[in-house]
Amino acid sequence: MVESTDAVKQDEEDDVMIPTATRGIPLPPFKGNIDKLLFCQSTSSDGQPVCAVAVEREVVLLQCSGRILLRQDVAFDIRQLLWVVFPPSKSEIETAVTQEFFCVVGLRDLMFIAINDSHPLGVRVQFDIHAVYATKFGLLLERDLSPLSSGADEQVALYSFSHPLNELLAVIFKPRGILSAKRILLLAF
């Protein structure tokens, strides 16, 4: 049986689609190996779905129709990709303006890409990041405590990050005696 060229083209297009529950999202070409693709989706303020796709050291912000909004190379290997809404700062309480970002996480780096204007903002921390969690207050950064070499009596294990321009705030300290435990379980916040 001979396939038409349209059917072959459709098969090629299907190979570069991200399957979702209702439809596929056209995937732009990447320089790296797409076997380790990270994906995050949100809805912009105008109601349009926006996606972030990351492969190795490259992140692409696109509308779910396939239109690319931003393509950014980063100087670090991307380990995690998530969407975060930062609450209004104290000076913005009256206007209640929240700020929405896609957060690209590396071993010691965070890059925030604003959803409304695709403006990237980078932050480097002084410790290895184990994981990052989005909350209604911003982000929680879990520090990787496995390579500890400090002789301090206690170490900060969890930080709060209320905005990319603010300082990290220590939330949980681990006493030296229990530093052998790999992770801290946060039961309530």
What local confidence, expressed as pLDDT, does residue 186 receive?
Answer: 53
* CB of 106 closer than 8 Å to CB of 124: no
Instruction: Judge if pTM exceeds 0.95.
Output: no
For 97-109, b/e burial (b = at least 16 CB within 10 A) is eebbbbbbbbeeb
Q: What is the mean pLDDT of residues 113-137?
A: 88
Instruction: Give 21-36 pLDDT, tens digit per residue.
Output: 445 667 777 787 777 7
What local confidence, expressed as pLDDT, does residue 124 receive?
Answer: 94
What local confidence, expressed as pLDDT, does residue 189 receive?
Answer: 46
Residue 147 has pLDDT above 50, yes or no: yes
Question: Which of these ranges, 62-71, 92-101, 176-185, has the smallest mean pLDDT?
Answer: 176-185
52 CB-side CA count, 13 A? 28
Q: Provide the residue ranges of all domains of the chain, joining segments of one domain with +.
A: 37-178
What local confidence, expressed as pLDDT, does residue 21 receive?
Answer: 46
Query: Residue holding tokens 């301090």?
Result: 152
The fold of the 37-178 domain, in CATH, is Methylamine Dehydrogenase; Chain H (2.130.10)
Q: What is the mean pLDDT of residues 86-106?
A: 77
Token pair in block for residue 180: 């052998």
Residue 48 has pLDDT above 70, yes or no: yes
Residue 132 has pLDDT above 80, yes or no: yes
